[in-house]
């Protein structure tokens, strides 16, 4: 009996040590994988954009914009219906962010009922916004993904079509915008109380909604490169503030996190606006597109915050030691990624490197 008790008394602490080591290894490995993916995704994922604008009864001008990063261009191709034939050669305009092709086509009949396909989309984690502007009826807006890379041209379109295109676009934009998500992670880990957390998230939402609207409507214009560099810097700042020893002297960020969230939310709203305008906006439905995109962003943000809070709650249940390890690892990962992006985007902004 005494021998068994001795074994039990020594094995339990050893077991706890092993579990602790495994937990630390798991957290480190998970965050390392996430950090590598985040650093690789140094810029937000932009959608492809297909725009057909009717110029005469059966004639259309076509704009096809394919995302690019440096020398790499996504292998996507817009396939118009067989009833359409080119009237002019394709013109190409290349930038670091996209390749834009333009040409004119004439179709043998009304496009209503015909199918337009974006080939290559089914193998990529990117989406396409397609838009058709008509001379005599409301425009049609469609969002295409890998699971649905084709659409049938409709005879009639409604505001619901804009909603179906731009709400999911807003959701996927926030989920694929790793820098925005890392800022939210650092912000929530900076805050200790539920009340402060609600105030901070609300302030962030209000702020980015303001600048999103102002930028899309053309009231405010800031170079996208500068915005992206400052967004990356905001992650570094908030992560560093969260890692400071607040027992010595609580900083403004810890005392009034809602103010920090509002200030940086203005920056992130400009980033959202850049993605929305680059995707293409219906000129006669800018306000509905802006509204539905913002709704999608909020839905995606709420879902992410809910998942993050659930994970933090589960980690807290495991004990203070595990919570501290997870919190510090997450903040260091966010800070390192933010610092990398700040240097990279600043260098690109000043022409040191091309990305």
Determine the pLDDT at residue 80: 93
Please state the domain extents for the chain: 24-44+177-349, 48-162
112: buried, middle or exposed (CB in 10 Å: 19+, 13-18, 0-12)?
middle
Determine the pLDDT at residue 355: 41
Q: Return d(Cα 13, Cα 18) in angstroms, integer.
A: 9
Determine the pLDDT at residue 79: 92
> Is 150:144 a contact under the CB 8 Å cutoff?
yes
Determine the pLDDT at residue 147: 79
Determine the pLDDT at residue 13: 55
Q: Return d(Cα 271, Cα 295) in angstroms, integer.
A: 16
Report, as an integer, the average pLDDT of 78-103. Answer: 88
What confidence tier does 260 reach under pLDDT thresholds 50, 70, 90?
very high
Q: What value does the mean pLDDT of the chain take?
A: 80
pLDDT tens, position by position, 286-328: 788 888 989 999 999 999 999 988 888 888 887 777 778 888 8
What confidence tier does 207 reach under pLDDT thresholds 50, 70, 90?
very high
The pair phi, psi for residue 248, each rounded to 5°, is -75, -55
> Is 215:269 a contact under the CB 8 Å cutoff?
yes
The answer, yes or no, to whether residue 265 has pLDDT greater than 90, is yes
Question: Which of 355, 68, 313 is CA-nearest to residue 197?
Answer: 313
- Per DSSP bridges, beta strands 48-54 and 128-133 are parallel
Determine the pLDDT at residue 115: 92
- Alpha-helical runs (H) found in 244-319: 252-255, 257-279, 286-317
Residue 62's H or E segment, with its range, is: strand 59-69
Q: Return d(Cα 16, Cα 168) in angstroms, integer.
A: 45
Angle at which helices 159-176 and 257-279 cross, to 10°: 120
Determine the pLDDT at residue 73: 79
Determine the pLDDT at residue 253: 80
Q: 201: which residues sit within 8 A by CB, 6+ positions away?
A: 187, 188, 261, 301, 305
Q: 54: which residues sit within 8 A by CB, 6+ positions away?
A: 60, 132, 133, 134, 135
Determine the pLDDT at residue 259: 92
pLDDT tens, position by position, 101-157: 999 999 988 888 899 999 988 877 778 888 888 887 777 878 888 778 898 888 776
Place of tokens 């602790």: 20
Determine the pLDDT at residue 124: 78
pLDDT tens, position by position, 268-283: 999 888 877 766 666 6
The answer, yes or no, to whether residue 4 has pLDDT greater than 50, is no
What is the three-class DSSP state of 56? coil
pLDDT tens, position by position, 14-54: 655 555 555 555 555 555 555 555 454 444 557 888 999 98
Question: Which of 277, 146, 281 is CA-nearest to residue 211?
Answer: 277
């Amino acid at each position: 009996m005494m021998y068994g008790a001795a074994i039990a008394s020594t094995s339990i602490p050893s077991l706890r040590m092993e579990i602790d080591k495994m937990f630390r290894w798991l957290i480190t490995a998970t965050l390392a994988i996430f950090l590598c993916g985040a650093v690789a995704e140094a810029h937000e994922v932009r959608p492809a954009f297909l725009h057909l604008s009717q110029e005469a009864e059966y004639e259309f001008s076509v704009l096809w914009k394919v995302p690019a990063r440096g020398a790499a261009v996504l292998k996507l191709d817009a396939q118009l219906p067989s009833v359409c034939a080119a009237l002019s050669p394709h013109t190409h305009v290349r930038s670091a962010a996209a390749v834009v092709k333009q040409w004119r086509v004439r179709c043998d009949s009304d496009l209503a009922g015909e199918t337009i396909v974006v080939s290559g989309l089914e193998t990529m984690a990117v989406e396409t916004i397609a838009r058709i502007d008509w001379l005599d009826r409301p425009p049609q807006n469609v969002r295409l993904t890998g699971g649905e890379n084709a659409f049938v041209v409709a005879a009639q379109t409604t505001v619901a079509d804009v909603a179906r295109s731009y709400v999911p676009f807003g959701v996927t934009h926030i989920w694929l915008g790793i820098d925005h998500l890392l800022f939210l992670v650092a912000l929530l880990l900076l805050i200790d109380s539920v009340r402060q957390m609600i105030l901070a998230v609300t302030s962030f939402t209000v702020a980015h909604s303001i600048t999103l609207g102002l930028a899309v409507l053309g009231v405010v214009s800031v170079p996208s490169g500068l915005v992206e560099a400052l967004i990356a810097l905001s992650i570094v700042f908030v992560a560093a503030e969260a890692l400071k020893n607040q027992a010595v002297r609580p900083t403004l960020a810890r005392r009034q996190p809602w103010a920090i969230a509002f200030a940086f939310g203005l920056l992130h709203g400009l980033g959202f606006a850049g993605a929305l305008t680059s995707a293409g906006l219906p000129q006669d439905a800018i306000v509905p597109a802006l509204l539905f995109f913002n709704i999608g962003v909020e839905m995606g943000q709420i879902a992410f915050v809910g998942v993050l809070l659930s994970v933090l709650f589960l980690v807290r249940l495991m004990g203070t030691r595990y919570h501290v390890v997870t919190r510090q690892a997450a903040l260091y990962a966010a800070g390192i990624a933010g610092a990398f992006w700040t240097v990279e985007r600043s260098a690109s902004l000043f022409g040191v490197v091309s990305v």
